[in-house]
Structure 1
Amino acid sequence: MKKKVAFATCVQLGQSCIEEILRIGGELDLLICLKDNKAKNKSGRIYLDEIAATYNIPLLKIDNINDDEVLNTLKAHEIDWLFIIGWSQIAKREVLNTPTYGCIGMHPTLLPEGRGRAAIPWAIIKGLRKTGVTMFKLDEGVDTGDIIAQEAIYLNETTTASELYKKVDEMHISLITNNWDSVVNNRINLQKQNENSATHWPGRKPEDGEILNVMTMDEAEKLVRAVTHPYPGAFFKDETRTLRIWSAITNKRHGEIKLSDGYLIPIDYEIEVEL
């Protein structure tokens, strides 16, 4: 018997997964999304009303994934697996244990590398040549659960956050395509993460995108690529204005912004005048 599946998301990455499940003929028994007034400014925020209505799937709008309302609804629909994708609230033990077999998440690194936050910017800042997306069974830790499947993404010295975000979205879809049948027929093979290889990446804030004169050309150029769209962008401040920089090149001899070993030349940028 195929398992009953629910899906919780409020971002585009999750919606892409839902659309792929439906495209390949899969069925979803419940959709969960934040209430409309929640996280309005979250990057990639989406609403599931249209897709729920189109496919006649029950939709639950909530304040928090750990609310009693969620637990009761999962029980009422006899959910076997719950996907939680692109959800910033941490699911607690009771939520994880309510579906018959548990909860499934995705993380945009090759776990156990890069547990934590801001995976796309960090991959570029760290100069990685390979990252990826991991589908895994959620536990009470942060990105520590058993691995269901992984697929790799390759980067080069020009990869931007915009490009990597698109590849991550595509990889979410690919993982759904390649593993959906195993999930609904309960044929997944779980692999423990190697704790000796685990790394943890901290969260990032918009102010972390500031370009400083003490940076090297390599550091500044990577930062610009790492926090361009869909992120808030790199910026450089002088006495009267702020340059919001979406793309740039470097030069050892001349340029707009002096760095420790050369110059940064903004290509696509906006001028924000200080009042």
Structure 2
Amino acid sequence: MESNSITVLVDNDSWIIPYARKLVEILREKGLDAAFADSADKVRVGWINFMLGCTRIVDDDVLQRNKHNLVVHESNLPEGRGFAPMAWQILEGKRQIPICLLEASDAVDAGDVWIRDMIALDGTELCDEWRVLQGEKTIQLCLRFVNEYKVLAPLKQEGAPSWYVRRRPVDSRLDIDKSMRDQFNLLRIVDNERYPAYFEVDGQLYTLQIFKARGGDSGA
């Protein structure tokens, strides 16, 4: 390791930003030269570039600035490459969500895997709640890489890949002819602000937001 410089890159206004900044603070407390970057051109030369929640393709010249360029992906790679794997798996009814820390590569989500772990859900978490679990686990994996670097060994992905497509606003549409129970997992993954659940009645669209009742209170 020629440098202890670490960049934490988030190239959009993702919900992951507070967790990325928390990671930077923890790394600094450990005596490491850590910095947050909101665009790829701000990535510094150094040891690690953690790329969290990034949506843009990073040029090779940026990747070459660091010894490791690491991505967090929530699936049992090579299964579940692509977009929004956490949301898609919750929609499928899964309560054990695999999560990987892997090396960025030319092909999407195809790099060597450094760490595999799991996010445990109880089936009641709404979007804000499971994002907390996802964000905290992301920090844990990044810190494990830093702390256990000398004993970790990357493993190549084995098996045929499968893919999740990008979620669109239309994917938050409810079917008024289906029960609430049948669509509960869909309600669990909608973003109340950015991509709220919606439905249509007689040509009129309606949006629907979901929150947990406080203290068991079922009142308004």
TM over 0.5: yes
CA contact (8 A) 2:198 2:205 kept: no
What does residue 32 of structure 1 align with?
Answer: 37
What does residue 20 of structure 1 align with?
Answer: 26
Q: Are 2:59 and 1:92 equivalent residues in the alignment?
A: yes
TM-superposed CA distance for 1:100, in Å, is 4.8
Cα separation, 1, equivalents of 2:74 and 2:31: 25
Cα separation, 1, equivalents of 2:77 and 2:155: 11
Q: Deviations over 1:41-62 (max 9, x none)?
A: xxxxxxxxxxxxxxxxxxxxxx
Instruction: Return the letter of the residue paired with 1:193.
Output: Q
Q: C-alpha root-mean-square deviation of aligned residues, in Å?
A: 2.8
Q: Are 2:209 and 1:242 equivalent residues in the alignment?
A: no
Structure 1: unaligned runs, 5 residues or longer = 35-64, 249-266, 270-275
Match of 1:158 among 106, 124, 135: 124
Cα separation, 2, equivalents of 1:178 and 1:82: 15
Cα separation, 1, equivalents of 2:30 and 2:45: 23
Instruction: Return the letter of the residue paired with 1:195.
Output: G
What does residue 6 of structure 1 align with?
Answer: 7
What does residue 202 of structure 1 align with?
Answer: 165
What does residue 145 of structure 1 align with?
Answer: 111
Instruction: Return the letter of the residue paired with 1:9.
Output: V
Cα separation, 2, equivalents of 1:235 and 1:90: 32
Cα separation, 2, equivalents of 1:125 and 1:268: 27
How do residues 114-263 of structure 1 correspond to structure 2 at under 5 angstroms? 114-183=80-149, 188-196=152-160, 198-215=161-178, 217-229=180-192, 232-239=195-202, 240=204, 242-246=206-210
TM-superposed CA distance for 1:238, in Å, is 1.5
Cα separation, 2, equivalents of 1:268 and 1:147: 47
Structure 2: unaligned runs, 5 residues or longer = 213-217
TM-score, normalising length: structure 1: 0.65
Instruction: Return the letter of the residue paired with 2:60.
Output: R
Cα separation, 2, equivalents of 1:80 and 1:241: 50
How do residues 60-75 of structure 1 correspond to structure 2 at under 5 angstroms? 65=40, 70=41
Cα separation, 2, equivalents of 1:268 and 1:227: 22
* Percentage of pairs with the same residue: 20
TM-superposed CA distance for 1:171, in Å, is 0.2
TM-score, normalising length: structure 2: 0.79
TM-superposed CA distance for 1:153, in Å, is 0.9
TM-superposed CA distance for 1:187, in Å, is 5.0
Equivalent residue of 2:171, what SS? helix
TM-superposed CA distance for 1:21, in Å, is 1.7
Change (3 A) 1:80 1:228: closer
Cα separation, 1, equivalents of 2:164 and 2:130: 17
**Greater Rg, structure 1 or structure 2?**
1
Length, aligned pairs only? 208
Cα separation, 2, equivalents of 1:268 and 1:233: 22
Question: After alignment, is 85-94 or 123-132 more displaced?
Answer: 85-94
CA contact (8 A) 1:104 1:136 kept: yes
What does residue 42 of structure 1 align with?
Answer: none
Equivalent residue of 1:15, what SS? helix
CA contact (8 A) 2:7 2:48 kept: yes
Q: Deviations over 1:3-32 (max 9, x none)?
A: 33223225424223223322333322x542
Instruction: Return the letter of the residue paired with 2:62.
Output: V
